[in-house]
Amino acid sequence: MINAEGMHPGFGFRVVAGTPEGARIGRLQTPHGEVETPAFMVVGTRGAVKGVSPDLLEQVGAKILLANTYHLAVRPGEDSVHALGGLHRFSGWSGPILTDSGGFQVLSLADLRSIDDEEVRFRSHIDGQELRLTPERVLDIQARLGTDIAMVLDDCPPPGVDRAGARKALERTLKWAERSVRHRESSAVGDSPMAVFGILQGGAFEDLRQEGAERLRELPFDGYAIGGVSVGESRDVLLQTIPWGARHLPVDRPRYLMGVAGFTEFVHAIDNGVDLFDCVLPTRNARNGYLFRRNAPPVRIKNQRYRDDDRPIEEGCDCSTCQRYSRGFLRHLRLSREILFMTLASIHNLRVFYGFLDDAREAIRNGSWGAFRDRFWSEESPDLP
């Protein structure tokens, strides 16, 4: 058993089962509850998952929610969230919450921002007002929001970045990480316990990833994330990048693969010791009528062939959507643009993802991870999530 020492008060992490390959089950303790890992963090960018209430998230198996610092700082603003009781009370989600720092928006909103070694300056995508983010300010905002786990500000480079660009983003991210640590140690950041995770960059360059991990782990973070993946690169590049970072991050801290999900990605990352994931894939695809299944190609619910289909999305699925509704009815809702469709489809897709990770953890727990992994690779289909 591996126990983390020196984490921020109120937080803990211990590895309770593992395999020689690196797959492991962990227990991440937070002030708002415990999360068993490997775990998927459902994305509620603005504090809510589109069409899915907190009680329904709990029913499908969600234990931890991810929200976004940039978007909440722009609207309604951290002071409003604080005045309304903090992010947990504000959102109605009582479990742990991790907030991204806004680093991804450095990439995704490149036309609306400028960046230097001191800060990132955004023009709000809503009203054009300026928002300035520094490593220090980002932690202060997240503390004001009342998050459990805060991410440091990072410089996320675009896909295909050359070596010089990857080196520049890595160096800036490490300098910002150092500033984040100094700010946390020199000031009282927030009124409640808050863990802080560092982020690894380095592009698609193995030596930069390894160097970055070695330098990052010298800083006293409560957890460590692999950033700069799933930003538009090919799946092959994504998969080869994962172990370059994960294998060199501390074994006694949670490891978080940012913005990545899917069965192939889960299996590959878990095999390399990753503990946490997040992605909009299950809910975004659900809203667009693309319904995943564990053991078969997805259902594209708008197809004519489902008009009179009285079967559930997937036989044997234990989600409330499959227990009650037919493909024919769901197709009718989708074509009629009924809001209910977003909820029912998202419930199913999320349950597919949580169910897969339930099985993965059980395989690690009972010593059959190798067989689980090898069976998946032998049966892998490009149509699976």
Helices (H), 187-304: 206-216, 235-246, 263-271, 281-287
Q: Which residues lie closer than 8 Å to 99 by C-beta, 6 or more apart?
A: 66, 67, 68, 69, 72, 87, 142, 145, 147, 149, 150, 151
Q: Are 27 and 375 in contact (CB under 8 A)?
A: no
Q: Where are the beta strands (DSSP E) in the chain?
A: 2-3, 12-18, 24-30, 33-37, 39-43, 65-68, 97-100, 113-115, 120-123, 130-133, 149-151, 195-200, 223-226, 255-257, 276-278, 290-291, 299-300
**Nearest-10 Cα torsion for 210, 212, 217, 222:** -120
42 is written with which tokens? 């459902």
- 3-state DSSP helix/strand/coil % of the chain, to nearest 5: 40, 20, 40
CA distance linking residue 212 with residue 169, whole number of Å: 11
CA distance linking residue 206 with residue 187, whole number of Å: 36
The identity of residue 376, as a single letter, is: F
Give catalytic status of residue 154 as yes or no: no
Give catalytic status of residue 318 as yes or no: no
Beta-bridged to residue 223, according to DSSP, are: 197
For tokens 């983010």, the residue is 133
138 is written with which tokens? 């980002």
> Which DSSP helix (H) or strand (E) runs through 330?
helix 327-335
Catalytic option among 55, 79, 100, 207: 100
CA distance linking residue 259 with residue 71, whole number of Å: 16
For tokens 């806004």, the residue is 102
Instruction: For residue 192, give the DSSP letter.
Output: S
Instruction: For residue 203, give the DSSP letter.
Output: T
24-30 and 12-18 as β-strands: parallel, antiparallel, unpaired?
antiparallel
Catalytic option among 116, 271, 278, 358: 278
- Residues catalogued as catalytic: 100, 278
